[in-house]
Amino acid sequence: MELAFILIYGCILGLMAPYIISGRESFGTLLAPAIALVFGFGVWTVLTWFGLSYNDYWIWTITMVGMPVAMIFGIRFVRSKRTKSETKKD
């Protein structure tokens, strides 16, 4: 059930990504929520393995703050790589 909240949060982040991050033409529509969801599920799993319970404050804080940060940096990374490859072709 807790992972469903992360899924919904990732979808909301994906809806907000075009308004938060500029250069929408450099990345696909589904890339932003995909990066956020992969990061969220990965961090949630690792923190669970380290012994944090689902009711713990830190598992929710790290996941919910880390997802938009990972999304923004991931999109910036993809956008910079794509613009570099496009300028090399020309």
Q: How many CA atoms lie within 13 A of 32 on its CB side?
A: 25
Question: Which pTM was predicted?
Answer: 0.84
Q: How far apart are CA 87 and CA 52, in angstroms?
A: 46
Q: Which residues contact 80 (CB under 8 A, 6 or more apart)?
A: none
Q: What pLDDT is stored for residue 39 in this prediction?
A: 95
Residue 18 maps to a domain: no
Q: Measuring CA to CA, which residue among 16, 19, 26 is closest to residue 67?
A: 16
Does a structural domain hold residue 57? yes
Average predicted confidence (pLDDT) for the chain:
87
- For 47, the domain range is 41-75
pLDDT at 3: 80
Q: Let me know if residue 29 belongs to a domain.
A: no
What total number of domains does the chain contain?
A: 1
Tell me the pLDDT tens digit for each residue of 10-37: 888 888 887 777 766 777 778 888 999 9
Residue 87 falls inside a structural domain = no
- Residue 35 covered by a domain: no
